[in-house]
Chains A and B, each alone.
Chain A
Amino acid sequence: MLPKEKAFMQETILSIQNLRKTYGAKTALKDVSIHIKKGTIYGLIGQNGAGKTTLIRILNQIIEADSGQILLNNQIISPEDIKSLGYLPEERGLYKNMSIEEQALYFGQLKGMTKTAAKEQLNYWLERFDIVNWKKKKIQDLSKGMAQKVQFIITVLHQPELLILDEPFSGFDPINAQLIADEIKNLAKHGTSIIFSSHRMESVADMCDALSLIHHGEIVLEGSITDIQKKYAKEIYEIHLMDADKNLVTAFLEKEAYSTKIIEDSAELKLEVTKANTTDDLLKEVLCIGKLTLYKQYVPSLQEIFIKTIENA
């Protein structure tokens, strides 16, 4: 994770307040509230149909919410703010019969840039990705990976304050995915706030500072990645013991302060202990049972946390 010491991180760029959206009888979003700090990468995760796309479309002002409001830089978002947003949709698409340059100038100008500024930015990014000689190539002549790079350039060309990236790594090979990941982190470092929507938990864990998990249109989990992992890490321990005293083990298993599961009972006894009462000193207790070979606080992966949260939701 990137060190975040910049002052701008204290300011809230986006504040989504009690957003609600229904399609006929189906509720797509139920009182969704999210607050995103400037210069952070904020993960938006959830299963298909959870409401992520609806939320992104409302942010992009493609559709309207039934109630609730969105503040961008503490002002209610307006059509004028479109130029402050950059959106990379999951389903990528560009005009196939236009060249990269024509395309960039078109989208850049639609986002309020002058032709000169759009040209300058395009050259900057083409040089950064080392693809200057592609400028005149038509999208239909590019490979999928190449087109994805162009799509990324077009998304960031107008230097938006808030970038919404929906599955930004899909379609990229590992090397190019890393290249894009570095660019995203770099943009955040320089003050761009990023909403990162993805199903791939490992990339969310690697990229994001904070996240929201949406399930059936509701936020069921939110906070910084560290806090979330800390919260779930507190309860479960993996303990390995040699020469354990069977009677003491039986007595320990019966203790109400813990919920204990035997993972393996061979030469080494492997236990998974969930603390019910955090005030008890687990380490002290297990030291009496046998020779301790491993005492590890179990940190579940984001994937596991999400599955568990969704199961309990």
Chain B
Amino acid sequence: MHKLLLIIKREFLTKVRSKAYLVLIFLSPLLMLGMFAAIFYFASKEEKANDSKISLLTITTPEINRELSKVHPNIEYQQGNAVSFNQAKQLVDDMNYNGLIYANPSLDLMEIYGDKNIPFQSLKSILEKHKRKYLLAQNNINPSLITQVTNTQMVHVTHKEQSEDEIKKWVKGTVAVGTGYLVMMFVIIYGNSVMRSIIEEKNSRVIEIMVCTVKPFQLLLGKIIGNALAGLLQFFIWGALLLVGLFLIETSFPSSGGEAEKMAQIFTVIWDINYLEIFISFVLFFLSGYLLYSGFYASVGAAVNSETDTQQFVHPILLPLMFAVYIGIVTVVNGNANGSTATLFSFIPFTSPIVMLMRIPYGVPTWQIILSLALLLVSFITTVYIASKIYRIGILTYGNKPNIKQLVKWMFQK
């Protein structure tokens, strides 16, 4: 036990003292925030700029031209000479305009022609309004009544505020995707870390001294636990940073104004989340998922001679992890969290650490969580046991590139 603690301590300290770890902990959240901010910034800029890219050829009355410029000031207008509709269409195609407004209410010409980028609905209602005005005037209707009848603001539309349920759904979805993605990322990062640590010991030949000092299983277990602790520490720090960040956003956001009420509502939902439950489930599912996959990573590390040889073995490990996140997004977040597909994948050990964790914010019966964890427990004991068998032989085997058949042979070698 004392030896195991020494190994865990060494692995943990080596990991947390490395520059890569510090970069991962403090720099990568900043990079991620920066990336989201940049995406958000460019997306909103793009949206605003959309109208300004449109050019229209207008062959219409001065009134309609005036209204078009008023409603869509960013569109570039080119007033054309009186030509036939077909000629005008040809001109639009030749000169690469986005569209054509060919309208004259008195001549019964009301045509819009153009590509999908032009705001058809809005242009159509402008032309319809002018046609109505013309028809009413033709029938000697009082001009003030005409103005009232054709007023587009006749109906006042108010968009319904997002209900608390919708906000809750959105927050739950974010938590689910966030935790699922984190587990995938952590399993990959720390599984790789175990693999690299084994390859390093094998390459530097320090393994020869280690295995005559401690049992290979102790060394493997120490490595796995040491890296898991480094992973948990990273999760605590990120969790704390996230909570502090959310608190700062809440306090710095203006308490009055258009969006204030909505933000307050969102924050009420955010602070309503049971963080203890999320924390405990993350720790349990991250640990069991990590233990399950670290067995595979350790076997790969013990079998190969250098990191470049790991590619062919590591790909099959990544696939179920990625699959779990996608299946989680499709069936849990955008589907039914308690549907049969989501439930099934939250029991299969290769996907359950991610899918079950994604289901938890939506409410999962306790027996399902316990069953999922029990299945994971059995699975990770099996993979770590198999890994220790492969590890025991692999770490002292140099030179040859083993295949699956050889790995199976190592499992039974005395």
Q: CB within 8 Å of B: which residues of A?
A: 23, 57, 60-64, 66, 79, 82, 85, 87, 89, 91-98, 106-107, 109-111, 154-155
A93 touches B208 (CB 8 A): yes
A60-B212, A110-B6 are contacts. A96–B414 as well, Cβ < 8 Å?
no
Q: Say whether B211 faces chain A, with CB atoms less than 8 Å apart.
A: yes
Please name 18 pairs of A and B residues whose Cβ atoms are closer than 8 Å in the assembled complex, sorted by A. A57-B212, A61-B212, A62-B396, A85-B212, A87-B208, A87-B209, A87-B212, A89-B205, A93-B204, A94-B204, A95-B10, A95-B14, A96-B200, A107-B209, A109-B2, A110-B3, A110-B7, A110-B213
Contact of A91 among B3, B18, B205, B211 (CB under 8 A): B205
A57 touches B396 (CB 8 A): yes
User: Chain A residues near B211 (CB, 8 Å)?
Assistant: 60, 62
Q: Say whether B53 faces chain A, with CB atoms less than 8 Å apart.
A: no
Contact of A106 among B10, B201, B215, B414 (CB under 8 A): B10
A93 touches B207 (CB 8 A): yes
Contact of B206 among A57, A64, A95 (CB under 8 A): A95
The distance in angstroms between the C-alpha atoms of A89 and B204, with both chains bound, is: 12
B213 touches A92 (CB 8 A): no
Q: How far in angstroms is the closest Cβ of chain A from B99? A: 66
The distance in angstroms between the C-alpha atoms of A89 and B212, with both chains bound, is: 10
A57-B396, A97-B14, A106-B10 are contacts. A111–B204 as well, Cβ < 8 Å?
no
Q: Say whether B83 faces chain A, with CB atoms less than 8 Å apart.
A: no
The distance in angstroms between the C-alpha atoms of A109 and B214, with both chains bound, is: 11
Q: How far in angstroms is the closest Cβ of chain A from B225? A: 16
Chain B 365-378: CB-based contact to A (< 8 A → 1; otherwise 0): 00000000000000
Chain B 172-209: CB-based contact to A (< 8 A → 1; otherwise 0): 00000000000000000000000000001100111111
A89-B205, A91-B205, A95-B206 are contacts. A109–B6 as well, Cβ < 8 Å?
yes
Of B204, B205, B208, B414, most A-chain CB atoms within 10 Å: B208
User: Chain B residues near A66 (CB, 8 Å)?
Assistant: 414
User: Chain B residues near A106 (CB, 8 Å)?
Assistant: 6, 10
Q: How far in angstroms is the closest Cβ of chain B from A38? A: 21
A89 touches B209 (CB 8 A): yes
Closest to A154 in B: B209
B206 touches A94 (CB 8 A): yes
A57-B396, A110-B6 are contacts. A93–B212 as well, Cβ < 8 Å?
no
The distance in angstroms between the C-alpha atoms of A93 and B6, with both chains bound, is: 19
Q: How far in angstroms is the closest Cβ of chain B from A65? A: 9
Q: How far in angstroms is the closest Cβ of chain A from B407? A: 15
Closest to A92 in B: B205
Of B3, B14, B204, most A-chain CB atoms within 10 Å: B204
Closest to B204 in A: A93
A57-B396, A62-B396, A110-B3 are contacts. A89–B414 as well, Cβ < 8 Å?
no
The distance in angstroms between the C-alpha atoms of A60 and B6, with both chains bound, is: 20
User: Chain A residues near B396 (CB, 8 Å)?
Assistant: 57, 62
The distance in angstroms between the C-alpha atoms of A85 and B212, with both chains bound, is: 9
Contact of B213 among A82, A91, A95, A96 (CB under 8 A): A82
User: Chain A residues near B414 (CB, 8 Å)?
Assistant: 63-64, 66
Tell me the chain B residues, 1-29 only, with Cβ under 8 Å from chain A: 2-3, 6-7, 10, 14, 18
Closest to B409 in A: A24
User: Chain A residues near B10 (CB, 8 Å)?
Assistant: 95, 98, 106
Closest to B218 in A: A110
Q: How far in angstroms is the closest Cβ of chain B from A22? A: 9
3 closest Cβ contacts across the A-B interface? A93-B205, A60-B212, A93-B206
A57-B396, A64-B414 are contacts. A93–B209 as well, Cβ < 8 Å?
yes
Q: How far in angstroms is the closest Cβ of chain A from B20? A: 12
The distance in angstroms between the C-alpha atoms of A25 and B204, with both chains bound, is: 31
Q: How far in angstroms is the closest Cβ of chain B from A60? A: 4
A107 touches B213 (CB 8 A): yes
Q: How far in angstroms is the closest Cβ of chain B from A55? A: 13
User: Chain A residues near B3 (CB, 8 Å)?
Assistant: 110
Q: How far in angstroms is the closest Cβ of chain A from B409? A: 8
Closest to B10 in A: A106
A97-B14, A106-B6 are contacts. A82–B212 as well, Cβ < 8 Å?
yes
Contact of B214 among A95, A96, A97, A110 (CB under 8 A): A110
User: Chain A residues near B7 (CB, 8 Å)?
Assistant: 110
Q: How far in angstroms is the closest Cβ of chain A from B193? A: 14
Q: How far in angstroms is the closest Cβ of chain B from A3? A: 32
User: Chain B residues near A154 (CB, 8 Å)?
Assistant: 209
User: Chain B residues near A97 (CB, 8 Å)?
Assistant: 14, 18
The distance in angstroms between the C-alpha atoms of A106 and B214, with both chains bound, is: 12
Q: How far in angstroms is the closest Cβ of chain A from B411? A: 14
User: Chain A residues near B214 (CB, 8 Å)?
Assistant: 110
The distance in angstroms between the C-alpha atoms of A96 and B396, with both chains bound, is: 19
User: Chain B residues near A109 (CB, 8 Å)?
Assistant: 2, 6
Tell me the chain B residues, 367-414 only, with Cβ under 8 Å from chain A: 396, 413-414
